[in-house]
Amino acid sequence: ICDATSAAFAMPLPWSKLDVVTFSFQKALGGEAGLGVAALSPRAVERLDRYAPPRSIPKVLRLRDAKGFDRTLAAGSMINTFSVWTIEDWIDAVEWGLSVGGLDALIARTKANAAALDAWVGRTDWIDYLAADPATRSTTSVCLKIVDARVTAMPEEARQALVRRMKALVEAEDAAFDIESHRNAPAGLRIWCGCTVEAADIEALTPWLDWAFEMALAE
């Protein structure tokens, strides 16, 4: 079972090992939010045919009917009503992906973006990856932590305030938006390196991050 929300269309998926893959259209391809996908293997369908949950399942999560797997879901029926605009936006996103070279090109774009950010991290002493092990680092939603001693000595609330100030500074310059780390993560940055951005834009962002860090620290 794989939650591929940040991976679909941005990195290779080992389909031969996966029985259930979920993702949403709005993440890697930048589509409108509100529609999710669950890709099921024949083995997963067989399990749904055999397994009857011992408890009530909410309608929006229900994949079975009285006979087993509800096969109308694989023939165009939807669990819940959605906006037609969502579908049109998804079609537009897929057509764009095909126009730039398809899945291989989308993965290559993601790798190039992550490499551009990695080059900056490697030469910058105040920032590092939140995930210490390279094997566990995402190439799409890249999470960073501030390792400067002046910041690590601060209490967590002050570190969070510093990051919020950095975010505000770069947003005021239209350089980047919503780069603050997840609310449940340590104070840091989260940079989108998926296929919908250009490596040149990632490279252009990094001086702004250096500037915002020094400005926020000096205030």
**Which residue, chain included where needed, has tokens 């090109």?**
105
Contact call for residues 165 and 187 (beta carbons, < 8 A) = no
Question: Going from the N-terminus, what domains does the chain have, and what CATH number goes with each?
Answer: 2-99 (3.40.640.10), 103-218 (3.90.1150.10)
Q: What is the DSSP letter of 118?
A: H
Reported for 20-23, long-range contacts at CB under 8 A and 24+ positions apart, including other chains, are: 20/44
Is 90 exceeded by the pLDDT of residue 33?
no
CA atoms within 13 A on the CB side of 177: 2
Tell me the pLDDT band of 85, cut-offs 50, 70 and 90.
confident
Separation CA 35–CA 24 (nearest Å): 6
Contact call for residues 11 and 110 (beta carbons, < 8 A) = yes
Q: For the whole model, what pTM was predicted?
A: 0.89
- Which two structure tokens, joined as six digits, stand for 70? 């509800």
pLDDT in tens, 105-148: 999 999 999 999 999 999 999 999 999 999 999 999 999 999 99
Contact call for residues 23 and 36 (beta carbons, < 8 A) = yes
